[in-house]
Chains A and B, each alone.
Chain A
Amino acid sequence: MTAPGSFRRLRALCRKETRQILRDPSSNLVAFVLPVVMLFIFGYGINLDSAALSLGLVLEDAGPEARHFAASLHGSPSFAVQTARTRAEIAEALTEGRVRGFVVVPVEFSEKLKQPGAAAPLLVVADGSEPNTARFVENYVAAAWNGWMLQRAAKRGETPPPAIGIEPRFWFNPAAESRNFLIPGSITIIMTVIGALLTSLVVAREWERGTMEALLASPVTRAELLLSKLLPYYALGIVSLFLCVGVAVFLMRVPFRGSLLGLWGIGSLFLAGSLGLGLLLSTVLRNQFNAAQAALNAAFLPAVMLSGFLFEIRSMPPVIQAVTYVIPARYFVTAMQTLFQAGQVWPVLLSSGAFLAAAGGLFIGLTALKTRRHLE
């Protein structure tokens, strides 16, 4: 087989594939509509920052000191404070989930404050059934309480006891907005699903419709067949990736500090892996339904659970951490978060890129092995 003949065949197959993509509403749906819809759901639905936690307050003591403390809670932007008369009332609200926690200023609060040497007790109760929020309730109340004590001491001309303060600086994300890292992470998940889902259907479809037989009986080679499935879907995936990034940057206002070239490079390596995974499943299973189901299980769930996009990998048990090393989404999450927020950090991009390239090579290589030039 001469090279020009091979090139002509490849071009013909790619053209055929492109025509099919353009005429098939479902691949357009999967490539363009689904990503944007998913991005909006992720972008608005997944948010770790509590705008204003609903916090209950029981003022059993109505003295000026107690009211002063209450004012510091009311003044905090972290809380939407609801006042209740009794502990029982607010306990019910906590059980029903109407408040995330509550603060009790006990009857003896003002009394104890006046007694030298006695400590006036305050109680904060948080709803532990949502541990992350509970932690925020605890931290925010503690911060408000500290602030109140400092203010009080200053007013009374006392020197506060020495304390070691912390001046936090969130690099790349000064306001510590979780959407700034969650949205780039979501793009990873979306691209994983889209890439694997699109290609999981294409080879299986040729088998189901009987067109694969006609192709196999022609002089097409294995490499041509494989490339003709990869190239058009790669183009589709890249367009879809840039679409997602565009929506994230221009509509959702997430800062992007990397270069488009870097995005293209990392995106291409990642797509090689996720398209490769889909193709592999499609080639092995030869059945659109099973392949789509397997693609979702092999791509979506690990990407959500084990990529580190939401759940901290280092906090997982070692066995599960070990598993994450073979999940391409893990590297793409890191690379995307870096590209969006930190910009061109070459060591991160290069090491992620290397892993992604290896994953892509693995899946495409396996697909090539499993692609047969004959039936069976």
Chain B
Amino acid sequence: MTMWPRILTLIVKELEMLLQDRQSRMILIVPVLLQLAVFPFAATLEVKNNTLAVYNEDFGRESAEVMQRFSRAQAFTRLLALHSEADVRRAIDRQEALIVLRFPPDFSRDVVAGRSPAIQAILDGRRSNSGQIALGYVQQILNAYTRERLPPPFPPAPSTLGVRHWFNPNLEYTWHILPCLIAIITSVNALIVTALSVAREREQGTLDQLLVSPLTPRMIMTGKIIPAVLVAVVQGTIILLGAVLAYRVPFEGSLPLLYGSMICYSLALAGVGLLIASVCATQQQAFLGVFSFLMPAILLSGYATPVDNMPVWLQSLDWANPMLHFIVIVKGVFLKNIGFAASLRNLVPLLIIAIATLGAADWLYRRRFAFRAP
């Protein structure tokens, strides 16, 4: 059988369908660029430009100096002065401030006397994560202040704690988000190209046209899988370039490893897409199916919150999530320069998922494709 020329014909057709008119081309490219432009800025757990409120019951010089230091911090661009308990309640209730610091009346006196006063910090429990991070900043500022105040004869601290952040020395959030985006954005189109295009062929009757031709179900499947991989690789490359050139995320690792795993990943996605399509009669259903897969896949991929924080049972379930594995590999290649051996921990599961989904799709399609209910 002259197999490859026919598969090539199928691939060319699929790509023509994708790139035929302006609107379809736009749908492939515009969301990618838009998300590339917005997400790295929006998706951040850093605390910047926030409001710090201070209820100062102390009138000394020292508390004023501490407040000076707060106003210079990047985390707090606004300082709100409060004057009563009621003010404190209001500032927190109405979310006017993320954190309220309350200096006790004898704060300055205690500092001058070399005692260790304590400041009360009231935080908004509705934003407790940001609050905790902000609290860390506050503590750092206070520590620096007290250290500088120490009179020279005072013995230095017996120990020092050096902090290093490997792979991302300044804890840039974009360094984390952009590699994740490669996985997220490519997944959307890889699924759409497979699941929705099969459903569309079924809805518009062209699938019948293919099935009465000498093309075998396997050729038809291959003709769907390869374009999906191509689309994923092209979109992945766009984000890779954007990350390196526009956002200046350092790329440390090996390109062949990145592209190899990207192909594995898109094969796994194509398998999922074909499986979704096999149970859907219409594009509408395929769309809901893609959404039902994508939403948990993205949320549980470790991109929004760390996988370690999930309960163990969910972590085990999440093993079947291809996005989880691919994100680990992309971040590893990008930031940690992991080698092939280190990537195997995630590459092998990715391959297993790809083989399982594609195998299941192949099994289903050889039965259902040719002989399905009208």
Contact at A347–B93, with CB atoms within 8 Å? yes
Name the B residues within 8 Å of A45 (CB-CB).
Answer: 296, 299-300, 305, 310, 314, 318
Tell me whether A166 is interfacial, beta carbon within 8 Å: yes
The answer to whether the Cβ of A235 comes within 8 Å of any Cβ in the partner chain is no
Q: When the two chains form their complex, are residues A113 and B158 in contact, meaning their CB atoms are under 8 A apart?
A: yes
Instruction: Tell me which of A14-22, A334-342, A357-365 binds B.
Output: A334-342
Question: Please, how many angstroms separate the alpha-carbon atoms of A5 and B196 in the complex?
Answer: 45
Tell me if A131 and B159 are in contact (CB < 8 A): no
Contacts A312-B47, A315-B44, A334-B95; A139 near B128 (Cβ below 8 A) = no
Would you list which residues of chain B between 6 and 54 have a CB under 8 Å from chain A? 31, 38-39, 41-51
With A46-B299, A139-B136 in contact, do A166 and B342 touch (Cβ < 8 Å)?
no
Q: Bound state CA distance, A292 and B283, in angstroms?
A: 11
Q: Is B336 an interface residue (CB 8 A)?
A: yes
Minimum CB distance partner of B88 in chain A = A171
Among A281-323, those with CB < 8 Å from B are: 288-289, 292-293, 296-297, 300, 305-306, 310-312, 314-317, 320
Whether B183 is near chain A, meaning CB under 8 Å from some CB there, is no
CA of A374 to CA of B287 in the docked complex: distance in angstroms?
30
Is the CB of B212 closer than 8 A to any CB of chain A? no
- CB distance A164 to B94 under 8 Å? no
Chain B residues whose C-beta falls within 8 Å of the C-beta of A38 in the assembled complex: 295
From B49, B126, B155, B300, give the contact of A337 (CB < 8 A). B126
Pick from A26, A122, A166, A297 the residue with the most CB of B within 10 Å. Answer: A166
Given contacts A49-B309, A135-B133, contact A125 B164 (CB under 8 A): yes
With a cutoff of 8 Å between Cβ atoms, the chain A residues found around residue B143 in the complex are 163
Question: B44 contacts which chain A residues (CB < 8 A)?
Answer: 311-312, 315-316
> Residue-by-residue, is A113-156 near B (CB-CB < 8 Å gives 1, otherwise 0)?
10011011111111111111111101101100100010010000
A94 interface residue per 8 A CB criterion: yes
Chain B, residues 289-308, CB within 8 Å of chain A (1/0): the string is 00110011001101011101
Q: Which of B121, B126, B146, B158 has the most CB of A within 10 A?
A: B126
From A123, which residue of chain B is reached at the shortest CB distance? B162
Rounded to whole angstroms, the CA-CA distance of A84 and B335 in the bound complex is 23
- Output the nearest chain B residue to A133 by Cβ-Cβ distance: B306
Which residues 118-151 of B have a CB within 8 angstroms of A?
Answer: 118-133, 135-136, 138-139, 142-143, 145-146, 149-150
Contacting B at CB under 8 A, from A152-199, are 152, 160-174, 176-178, 180-181
**CB-CB contacts of B151-170 with A at 8 A, as 1s and 0s?**
00011111111111111111
Please, which residues of chain B bring their CB within 8 A of the CB of A160? Answer: 116
Q: Is A63 an interface residue (CB 8 A)?
A: no
Residue of A nearest to B66 (CB): A164
Is A100 interfacial (CB-CB < 8 Å)? Answer: yes
Point out the residues of chain A lying under 8 angstroms from B291, CB to CB: 296
**Do B128 and A181 touch (CB < 8 A)?**
yes
- Contacts of A47 on B, CB cut-off 8 Å? 305, 309-310
The answer to whether B155 and A348 have CB atoms under 8 Å apart is: no
Interface residues of A, Cβ cutoff 8 Å to B: 26, 30, 34, 38, 41-42, 44-51, 53-54, 92, 94-97, 100, 113, 116-117, 119-136, 138-139, 141-142, 145, 149, 152, 160-174, 176-178, 180-181, 201, 288-289, 292-293, 296-297, 300, 305-306, 310-312, 314-317, 320, 334, 337-338, 341-342, 345, 347-348
Give me 16 A-to-B residue pairs in the complex whose CB atoms sit less than 8 angstroms apart, sorted by A's number.
A45-B318, A48-B129, A97-B328, A128-B166, A129-B176, A131-B165, A133-B308, A142-B161, A164-B146, A166-B118, A166-B121, A170-B124, A170-B131, A171-B125, A292-B287, A314-B51
For the complex of A and B, list the 4 residue pairs with the smallest distance between their C-beta atoms, beginning with the closest: A173-B125, A128-B168, A128-B165, A172-B125
Other 13 A-B pairs with CB < 8 A, given A135-B136, A139-B132: A41-B296, A45-B314, A95-B332, A95-B338, A127-B165, A129-B168, A161-B146, A166-B139, A167-B120, A168-B121, A292-B288, A342-B125, A348-B94
